[in-house]
Amino acid sequence: MNVCMVGTGYVGLVTGACLADFGMNVVCVDKDEAKIAALRAGKMPIYEPGLEQLVAKNERSGRLRFTTDLKQGVQNSLAIFIAVGTPPNPDGSPDLTFVRQVAEAIAEYRNGYKVVITKSTVPAGTGRMIDEILRSRNGQHDFSVVSNPEFLREGSAIADFLRPDRIVIGASDPRAIDVMKEIYSPLYLIDTPFVITDVASAELIKYASNGFLAVKISFINEIARLCEIMGADVHDVARGMGLDRRIGKLFLHPGPGFGGSCFPKDTAAAADLARNYGDVFEIIEATIRTNERTKARMLDRIVSVTGPVEGKTAAVLGLSFKPETDDIRESPAIAVIQSLRRAGAKVRACDPAAVENARAVLADVVFTEDAYACATGADFVVLATEWNEFRALNLDELGRRLKSRTMVDLRNVYEPREMKAAGWKYAGVGRG
Tell me which residues are annotated as active site. Answer: 262
- Please report, as a single letter, which amino acid is at residue 159: A
Smallest CA-to-CA distance from 48 within 150, 151, 154 is with 154
CA dist 345 and 93 (Å) reads 35
Smallest CA-to-CA distance from 418 within 384, 395, 389 is with 395
Answer for the pair 376, 397: CB distance below 8 angstroms, yes or no. no
CA dist 130 and 80 (Å) reads 13
Sign of CA dihedral 252, 257, 261, 267: positive
- Listed in order, strand segments (DSSP E) in 239-331 are 313-317
- The angle, 0 to 180 degrees and rounded to 10, between the axes of the packed helices 282-306 and 199-230 is 30
| Cβ atoms within 10 Å of 401's Cβ, excluding its own | 17
Q: Is 183 left (phi over 0), alpha (psi -120 to 50) or beta?
A: alpha
CA dist 224 and 330 (Å) reads 21
DSSP secondary structure of 45-86:
SS--TTHHHHHHHHHHHTSEEEES-HHHHHHT-SEEEE----
What count of Cα atoms within 13 Å lies in the side-chain half-sphere of residue 159?
Answer: 8
Answer for the pair 231, 87: CB distance below 8 angstroms, yes or no. no
CA dist 74 and 96 (Å) reads 20
Smallest CA-to-CA distance from 317 within 257, 371, 260, 393 is with 371
